Amino acid sequence: MADKLTTKQRLAIERQQMPEQVAFARATNFTEVNLGFTEQLALLEAERCLQCKDPKCVRGCPVGVNIPQFLGLLASGKIAEAAQSLLCDNALPSVTGRVCPQETQCESECVRTAKGTSVGIGHLERYVADWAQRHGELPAKAPATGKRVAIVGSGPAGLTAAGELARLGHEVTLYEALHKPGGVLVYGIPEFRLPKQIVAQEVDRLVAAGVKIECNVIIGRTYTLGELQAAFDAVFIANGAGLPVFMDIPGENFKGVYSANEYLTRINLMAAYQFPKSDTPVLRGRRVAVVGGGNVAMDSVRTAKRIGAEHAMIVYRRTREELPARAEEAHHAEEEGVEFHYLTAPLEVIGDAERWVSGLRCVRMKLGAPDASGRARPEAIPGSEFVIACDVVVVAIGTRANPLLTATCPDLKLNARGNILVDEIGMTSLPGVFAGGDIVRGAATVILAMGDGKRAALAINGYLQKHLPAPRPNAAQLDPQLSRSAS
Amino acid sequence: MHTVLTRFQLSENVTKLGVLAPRIATIRQPGQFVIVRLREDSERIPLTIADADPLGGTISLVIQSVGKSTNELVALQPGECIRDVAGPLGHPTELISSGHALCIGGGVGTAVVHPIAQGLHRRGARVTSIIGGRTMSAVIYEWELRRYGPVVPCTDDGSYGRKGFVTDAAREILAAEKIDIVYAVGPVPMMRSIANLTREFNIRTIVSLNPIMVDGTGMCGGCRVSIGHENKFACVDGPEFDGHKVDFDELADRLASYRDFEKHATHCAREHCDRQPPKS
């Protein structure tokens, strides 16, 4: 685009559609649904940004990406500068460009939403981030400070904090309990929504920026928090809300009932969809009922469809209007042939003589008066019980705080639900120990966790400058864990 | 990568591997387990730490070959590597430091009883062990356990020690001596029989459960077991529980979830034996 467009010309450009795999094809494969903008589509879409003096979109972004700046650079063809601008604000743009609920964040604040459709910020973020990946773009880095920071958990909060802290010149070690870094990005979100290669590339970029990653280390077991405090100048806890919640109804321990965490972990992290090429099995089922209406439920049901379920069903006690899932996910699920049982609540899992799942006894619901959350409270309709025939049930009704770390640190203050309490800058009741993401908030989104990671990184930076002006010459060292040095 | 330093075949299908894992060897406590993953495509398998050598930096893993994944693990030779070893996981065993403990091991479960007997002995408790196997060659860890107190070996076929089940020997000891606590690890039917027996005698009984597990950190819930009608996760709440409260029928049933799959994987492995474990 050689000449600068006028606002009128910009307003005349319509929103560019994201190319996607057709529904009937993608419902049987794990390849990414959204195919990504071409350069032409991206430049055209970027021109739609009006470059507002007071950009409301930035306020809608939990990590505060300077959206008009990177869009402006992109529109004028300065893509390397656009990438640099984006990378300085967001440590994982290829991830957020794919999984962020932009429609309720930046894009909902876009002034163009009032008269039509917002700028496709998420799709453009993805485009610039993928370009940066292909061209090995690294964010600029501050000189080394000699300060050491440990991060517990390599999910979105941990990775973001690691990226920020490394960029600020600190020495960062990231501890991951599983065998692969990425947390929910690798065990939870399926390949067709977030290719694992994208996560691996983002992780590689952090490693290239000097972040040390140690897998198979469970803080609270392999090392205690106290040991980390002794060996590092600050600690950031971002170990997530790991523990799955079950429905507490009869039959929930029959064979064929999974938590969404287990179902998705088997298929995503352990590649059970490639069984027997990979060794981890998953019960496939011809009729799969997924209980819940959030993004995790959508991920589970769309996965079930892809591994061959003839009927992949959502069982949700409210209506389509109240689905907590992103609009795009629910829409994609509908296109792929997922069946939705709205206003339906499970009462009991039914099993056959050998205790294999054979059905889900449910009751019809109606919406009553709004509850504390402002959503209409579902009420059971007496006498409306019925059975949904199914051979696999996936429970996707949420997770709660994992006590594995917190139970080993009695000094760490928690709330009644077991989440870690933090002050306004993200510091826990232990000085120098910060926390963020789902272990603080309870189950939330990738981008909110990333926002916590970014804020915590800045707070840790401030803390280190204020309280530890010089590096400690004789800080304790952890004994080698030897997870990788033996070979 | 964790190098296998030693390998001993303990019985026809039970093998002991000494695996380099210095951190875990230093801090592990009785009752704790590790999750191992042999190769990139392998399953994550929970294995109780049978023993550890903190100076040499190794842990002992005792593995019974029952399917493709365990067959591959027991086929490892010294010098070969296990890709991932994570732990130590689970709560340590609740150990008494005075009084008389009866430790009962069945089959490969005897290897799990070993660190418990070791821990009890170190704390000063008196230990008597009963260990069982189908036949003489299936009785393992007898001489290691003899360091901590008398051992009563039992075989189903009478080829060695007492003829009969460990439960029979346990009944005699419980009737004759004052036992303060019983630890029982073995196949589900054995643990159930022991729990039923000790309930009669009203003696506290700890069992170590081995349900299907994926992550081992509380995340998947696949290892949920009913303890006194309450759902517990064996990985973070256990793996040891009050034997009188465990729903053993449900545990046995859930353990069968992938039996056909395991057969299928074993079959496929025989058809395509081209994949080798990683060398160090």
Q: What interface predicted TM-score (ipTM) does this complex get?
A: 0.89
Residue B96's pLDDT is: 94
Nearest-CA distance from A403 to chain B in Å? Answer: 8
Average pLDDT of chain B to the nearest whole number: 91
Confidence of residue B260 (pLDDT cuts 50, 70, 90): confident
- Which backbone phi and psi does A129 adopt, to 5 degrees? -65, -40
Q: How far are the Cα atoms of A483, B32, B47 from residue B51, in angstroms, in the given order? A: 19, 10, 12
A276 at B interface, C-beta within 8 A = yes
CA distances from B256 to A138, A254, A255, A354 (A): 49, 11, 8, 10
> In terms of DSSP bridges, do strands A357-370 and A376-380 run parallel, antiparallel, or are they unpaired?
antiparallel
Q: What is the pLDDT of residue A359?
A: 93
Q: Does A410 touch chain B if contact means CB atoms closer than 8 Å?
A: no
DSSP A326-388: -HHHHHHHHHTT-EEE-SEEEEEEEE-TTSBEEEEEEEEEEEEEE-TTSSEEEEE-TT--EEE
Contact B218 A404 (CB under 8 A): yes
In whole angstroms, what is the distance from residue A301 CA to residue A260 CA?
A: 10
Tokens describing residue B145: 């356990």
Phi-psi region of B101 (alpha: psi -120 to 50; beta: other; left: phi over 0): beta
Cβ-defined contact of B23 to A486 (cutoff 8 Å): no
Q: Read off the DSSP letter of residue B109.
A: G
A244 interface with B at CB cutoff 8 Å: yes
CA distances from residue A274 to A268, A277, A284, A303, A306 in whole angstroms, order as listed: 10, 5, 12, 13, 12
Name the strands in the sheet holding A311-315, side by side, starting at the edge strand that comes first in the sequence. A257-259, A392-395, A287-291, A311-315, A339-341
Beta carbons of A218 and B86 less than 8 Å apart: yes
CB contact at 8 A, A225 and A431:
no
Burial class (CB in 10 A: 0-12, 13-18, 19+), A437: buried
Question: Nearest to residue A81, comparing CAs of A18, A159, A135, A142?
Answer: A135
Quote the CA–CA distance of A187 and A404 in Å, as a whole number.
Answer: 18
CB contact under 8 A, A179 and B233: no
Tens of pLDDT, residues B31-90: 999 999 999 999 999 999 999 999 999 999 999 998 889 999 999 999 999 999 999 999
pLDDT in tens, A222-241: 999 999 999 999 999 999 98
Residues B84, A244: C-beta atoms closer than 8 Å: no
Which of chain B's residues have a Cβ under 8 Å away from the Cβ of A223? 23
Chain B touched by A221 (CB under 8 Å): yes
CA distance A128 to A86: 8
How far is the C-alpha of B247 from the C-alpha of A212, rounded, in Å?
A: 44
Chain-chain contact of A486 with B236 (C-beta, under 8 angstroms): no
Collect the ranges in chain A with pLDDT lower than 70: 1-3, 468-487
Q: In the structure encoding, which two tokens stand for residue A437, read together? A: 């993401």
| C-alpha distance from A259 to closest chain B C-alpha (Å) | 7
Task: Report the residue of chain B nearest A275, measured CA to CA.
Answer: B265
The amino acid that residue B45 corresponds to is I
Whether residues A262 and B254 touch (CB distance < 8 A) is answered with: no
CA distances (Å), origin B236, targets B7, B19, B213: 30, 24, 11
A250 touches chain B (CB under 8 A): no
Identify which of A49, A47, A167, A184 has the alpha carbon closest to the alpha carbon of residue A118. A49
pLDDT at B271: 52
- Cross-chain Cβ contact B224/A221 below 8 Å: no
What share of chain B in percent tops pLDDT 70?
A: 93
Per-residue pLDDT tens digits for B185-200: 999 999 999 999 999 9
Judge: B258–A177 Cβ closer than 8 Å, yes or no. no
Phi first, then psi, for residue A110 (nearest 5°) are: -60, 135
Identify the helix (H) or strand (E) that includes residue A263.
helix A260-264
Q: What is the pLDDT of residue A3?
A: 65
**Nearest one of A322, A343, A340 to A332, comparing CA atoms:** A340
Contacts of residue A475, defined as CB under 8 A and 6 or more positions apart, other chains included, come to A148, A230, A231, A232, A233
* Residues of chain A found within 8 Å of residue B270, distances taken between Cβ atoms: none
Q: Which of A221, A248, A252 sits opposite B87 (nearest CB)?
A: A221
Output the pTM of the full model.
0.90
Chain B CB contacts of A253 below 8 Å = 224, 226, 231, 250, 254
Give the integer Cα–Cα distance in Å for A245 and A258: 11
Taking the C-alpha atoms of residue A471 and residue A56, their distance in angstroms, rounded to an integer, is 40
pLDDT at A467: 79
Amino acid present at A366: K
Q: Which residues from chain A sit within 8 angstroms of residue B79, using beta carbons?
A: none
**The two structure tokens encoding residue A41:** 């589509």
Distances (CA, A) of A448 to A7, A249, A374: 33, 32, 21
pLDDT band at B151 (very low <50, low <70, confident <90, very high): very high
Amino acid at B16: K
Beta carbons of B253 and A242 less than 8 Å apart: no
